[in-house]
């Protein structure tokens, strides 16, 4: 299933009374919005507008495998204070669907191409201050592709059994929100049920 690319998050346009841009950056756009709340009162909120993103869990094993192999990237994240485990993810390019974005990021970051890409769900990352939505996928039937990382991407691809990744999630070794949701959603609704 593919979702349209426009409007990462859905804002309540009727609630927005005014908006003043504070910062217009490469990835985020910060504004101060004057809003009308559900009770009729008004106030100001800071809002980070974000174009949205796609993320994908690559599964190396055949569907139905009891403990499939999955790929994660161990990526340097300045904001997180060092290296963390993540699923491949990134921002869409002009005109890309969410699925096309997920497929491209999968090849660029993990060096594999998916023969099958299934939509999982979408995630509002931090709805208290951003409209960012990440569309989550799981990829099967992987074939070698070409890595093409950005200059500011420092990462390595690592292979794990699903059981290991679930243990890493439970123990706090995996802390990235999109990665946790992707792994747990895929395990619950795609991977573990296929094996039963």
Strands 69-77 and 82-86, how do they pair? Answer: antiparallel
Q: Which of 151, 153, 158, 193 is catalytic?
A: 151
Is 11 one of the catalytic residues? no
**pLDDT tens per residue across span 38-97:** 999 999 999 999 999 999 999 998 777 889 999 999 999 999 999 999 999 999 999 999
Q: Are residues 24 and 86 in the same domain?
A: no
Q: Are residues 66 and 160 in the same domain?
A: yes
In a domain? residue 2: no
| H helix or E strand, kind and range, residue 35 | strand 29-36
In a domain? residue 31: yes
pLDDT value at 2 more than 70: no
With bands split at pLDDT 50, 70 and 90, how would you rate the model's confidence at 5?
very low
pLDDT value at 18 more than 70: yes
Q: Are residues 164 and 184 in the same domain?
A: yes
Strands 69-77 and 133-144, how do they pair? Answer: unpaired
**pLDDT tens per residue across span 153-195:** 899 999 999 999 999 999 999 999 999 999 999 999 888 754 4
Q: Are residues 42 and 75 in the same domain?
A: no
Quote the domain boundaries for residue 84. Answer: 53-195
Look up the pTM and report it. Answer: 0.88
**pLDDT tens per residue across span 24-36:** 998 889 999 999 9
Q: What's the CA gap between 76 and 155, in Å, rounded?
A: 6
The CATH number of the domain holding residue 149 is 3.90.79.10
Q: Are residues 25 and 121 in the same domain?
A: no
Q: Are residues 69 and 142 in the same domain?
A: yes
Q: Are residues 96 and 189 in the same domain?
A: yes
In a domain? residue 158: yes
Q: Are residues 69 and 130 in the same domain?
A: yes
Q: Are residues 30 and 113 in the same domain?
A: no
Q: Is the distance from CB of 120 to CB of 182 less than 8 angstroms?
A: yes
- C-alpha distances in Å from residue 141, one per residue of 28, 41, 63, 69, 109: 34, 53, 9, 12, 17
Q: How many domains does the chain have?
A: 2
What percent of the chain has a predicted confidence (pLDDT) above 70? Answer: 92
């Amino acid at each position: 299933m593919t979702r349209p690319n426009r409007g990462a998050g859905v804002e309540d346009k009727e609630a927005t009374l005014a908006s003043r841009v504070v910062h217009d950056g490469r990835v985020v756009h910060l504004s101060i919005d004057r809003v009308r709340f559900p009770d009729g009162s008004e106030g100001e909120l800071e809002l980070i507008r974000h174009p949205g993103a796609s993320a994908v869990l690559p599964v190396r094993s055949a569907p139905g495998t009891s403990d499939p192999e999955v790929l994660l990237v161990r990526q340097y994240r300045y904001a997180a204070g060092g290296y963390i485990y993540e699923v491949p993810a990134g921002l869409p390019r002009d005109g890309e669907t969410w699925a096309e974005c997920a497929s491209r990021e999968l090849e660029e970051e993990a060096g594999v191409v998916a023969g099958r890409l299934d939509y999982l769900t979408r995630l509002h990352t931090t709805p208290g201050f951003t409209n960012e939505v990440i569309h989550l996928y799981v990829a099967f039937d992987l074939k070698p592709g070409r890595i093409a990382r950005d200059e500011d991407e420092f990462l390595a691809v690592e292979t794990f059994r699903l059981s290991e990744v679930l243990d890493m999630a439970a123990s706090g070794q995996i802390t990235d929100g999109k990665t946790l949701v992707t792994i747990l959603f895929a395990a619950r609704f795609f991977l573990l049920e296929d094996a039963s």
